[in-house]
Chains A and B, each alone.
Chain A
Amino acid sequence: DQQVKQNSPSLSVQEGRISILNCDYTNSMFDYFLWYKKYPAEGPTFLISISSIKDKNEDGRFTVFLNKSAKHLSLHIVPSQPGDSAVYFCAASDPSGYALNFGKGTSLLVTP
């Protein structure tokens, strides 16, 4: 049963514009959320995270927003660059768990 869902398998954005990747979760016990980026033939690399005590976390061009009441988080990339083209995974964990629950990923293509 998928507790973390990324309903958009792919997204295409023009260079310089904003990319918004969405993630929904079903487990209200999740208290820590992460985004990973994955290039072909490489492992996922950690991008940014947010704790449930916050509703926003920013790191350079990347911002993650958390809406706990809606059980929704989003990753904003501004401005988008061609090098951002990759698969983005959303993940979540709860206080009692050791492991992360991953979504199936969204493939982002940033076109020049």
Chain B
Amino acid sequence: DAGVIQSPRHEVTEMGQEVTLRCKPISGHDYLFWYRQTMMRGLELLIYFNNNVPIDDSGMPEDRFSAKMPNASFSTLKIQPSEPRDSAVYFCASSLVRGETQYFGPGTRLLVL
């Protein structure tokens, strides 16, 4: 099993640019989660999907953030325009069962200059 796949692993961009992060969940997992990790706030849940449908996006910090899941094997998190305070590690996770074990990808380390 390949596990959760995220790309890119590192992203450096300039303020104002659009950033797109990608995730491929574990096959058969119906739940997909996007998290952001910072020193100050730890692991924050941004949004999660069930069967490709967004269930709760209340963790998305601003309208500059958007997420989609066009099919069961792919999701994107987009930041437009990006700002320096968006610099963080972004994790994607998937799970088979609601509320139970989530399996994380390796993360995307984003630096916005």
* Residue positions of A touching B, CB distance < 8 A: 32, 34, 36, 41-46, 49, 89, 93-95, 97-100, 102-105
A89 near B99: Cβ-Cβ < 8 Å: no
Kindly provide the distance from the CB of B23 to the nearest chain A CB, expressed in whole angstroms: 11
Within 8 A of A (CB), among B37-91: 42-43, 45, 48, 50, 55-56, 91
Q: Using A34-B101, A43-B4 as known contacts, say yes or no to A98 and B91 having CB atoms under 8 A apart.
A: no
Instruction: State which size class the interface on B falls in.
Output: 20 to 34
Q: What total count of A-B pairs have CB within 8 Å?
A: 55
A64 to chain B, nearest CB (A): 13
Most buried by A among B33, B43, B93: B43
- Chain B contact residues, CB within 8 Å of chain A: 4, 6, 31, 33, 42-43, 45, 48, 50, 55-56, 91, 93, 98-107, 109
Q: Is there contact, CB below 8 Å, between A102 and B101? A: no
Alpha-carbon gap, A6 to B42, bound state (A):
11
